[in-house]
């Protein structure tokens, strides 16, 4: 009896000494469960039948033919021609976007950090001030700019007579080259580096672009990881831009719009059809997985990149 009491006393003292940590870990565990609940719910819903899903209260627990349900629901995603086409377009846009944005951002970040020229600080502040403009405030100006872009979509030299970039896949290639936030992060990173490598490369006869892209660019890989993650998530989740600028060219829509269209079809209650919620959850779950995987692979460099870009230069 005394031994049991001693154990209780020791447990009580241990709890009293570490109660803050215990409460912290318990709170984090609870928060983790809350955050993971939609993911777990979506996955279980995607491998359930419609009847099992409709009968669920807390979680849709599949009871029969789980493997067959998974195959039936997920093949609607992976065998859908619209999704496959849109996925290819999305991946190509991500690849093009990161290549062009990285090339432009690295060059401009290096110039603002290392090159002296008149009004450099003023131009940099003007560039940074564009980040203060809310995106919704630019919808109408961007639409007008897209419509009246010279020599595109039947427009003449002054931007009249055609549709410009509207419903034009070239808008995916010829726009969005400048990322102001990326330029800021790279400028801050380059500003913390000394000039020894640049001077040594100049002595060896290296040109300006070689110094930028072959010598300095590899040193900011963590910032490039931040850019890659931002580009991937931005293009993967793009929705409004396709509706506004590519309304009549749905064959060029990225994956986000196609996912929403299919989910709307499966959850529609038009006529006498029963909503196919498991298929809709399968599409939703597939749409969540790629950004999560990308973040897992680049999370370490992502944190390093934010730290590099936050240093005052």
Give the chain's residues under pLDDT 70. Answer: 1-19, 65-66, 269-273, 302-303, 305-313
- pLDDT for res 108: 92
Helix axes of 277-310 and 180-191: crossing angle, nearest 10 degrees: 30
Structure tokens belonging to residue 225: 């990881």
- pLDDT for res 307: 64
Q: Which CATH architecture has domain 80-310?
A: Orthogonal Bundle (1.10)
User: Tens of pLDDT along 255-292?
Assistant: 888 888 888 888 876 655 678 888 888 888 888 888 88
Q: Where are the alpha helices (DSSP H) in 132-274?
A: 139-147, 171-174, 180-191, 196-203, 208-210, 221-236, 240-245, 255-266
Which pairs count as long-range contacts for 53-56, CB under 8 Å and 24+ apart, including other chains?
A: 53/277, 53/278, 53/281, 54/277
Can you give the residue ranges of every domain in the chain? 1-70, 80-310
Q: Would you say 165 and 154 are in contact if contact means Cβ atoms under 8 Å apart?
A: no
- pLDDT for res 201: 82
d(Cα 159, Cα 170) in Å, to the nearest integer? 16
- pLDDT for res 89: 92
Q: Which helix (DSSP H) or strand (DSSP E) does residue 12 occupy?
A: helix 2-46
Structure tokens belonging to residue 219: 């040193």
Q: Would residue 60 be called left, alpha or beta, if left means φ above 0 and alpha means ψ between -120 and 50 degrees?
A: beta
- pLDDT for res 90: 92
- pLDDT for res 180: 87
- pLDDT for res 283: 87
């Amino acid at each position: 009896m005394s031994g049991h009491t001693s154990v209780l006393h020791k447990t009580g003292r241990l709890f009293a000494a570490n109660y803050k940590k215990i409460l912290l870990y318990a709170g984090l565990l609870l928060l983790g469960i809350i955050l993971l609940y939609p993911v777990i719910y979506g996955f279980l819903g995607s491998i359930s039948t419609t009847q099992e899903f409709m009968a669920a209260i807390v979680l849709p627990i599949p009871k029969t033919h789980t493997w067959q349900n998974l195959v039936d629901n997920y093949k609607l995603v992976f065998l859908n021609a619209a999704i496959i086409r849109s996925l290819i377009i999305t991946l190509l846009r991500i690849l093009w976007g990161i290549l062009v944005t990285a090339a432009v951002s690295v060059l401009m970040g290096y110039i603002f950090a290392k090159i002296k020229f008149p009004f450099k600080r003023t131009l940099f502040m003007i560039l940074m001030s564009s980040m203060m403009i809310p995106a919704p405030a630019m919808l109408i100006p961007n639409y007008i700019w897209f419509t009246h872009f010279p020599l595109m979509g039947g427009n003449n030299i002054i931007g009249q007579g055609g549709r410009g970039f509207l419903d034009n896949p070239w808008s995916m290639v010829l726009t969005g080259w400048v990322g102001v936030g990326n330029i800021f992060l790279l400028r801050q990173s380059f500003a913390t580096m000394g000039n020894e490598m640049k001077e040594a490369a100049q002595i060896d006869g290296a040109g300006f672009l070689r110094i930028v892209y072959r010598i300095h660019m590899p040193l900011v890989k963590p910032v490039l990881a931040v850019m890659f993650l931002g580009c991937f998530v931005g293009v993967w989740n793009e929705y409004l831009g396709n509706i506004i600028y590519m309304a009549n060219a749905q064959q060029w829509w990225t994956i986000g719009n196609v996912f929403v269209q299919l989910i709307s079809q499966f959850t529609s209650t038009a006529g006498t059809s029963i909503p196919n919620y498991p298929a809709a959850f399968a599409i939703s779950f597939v749409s969540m997985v790629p950004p999560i995987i990308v973040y897992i692979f680049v999370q370490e460099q992502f944190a390093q990149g934010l730290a590099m870009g936050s240093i005052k230069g």
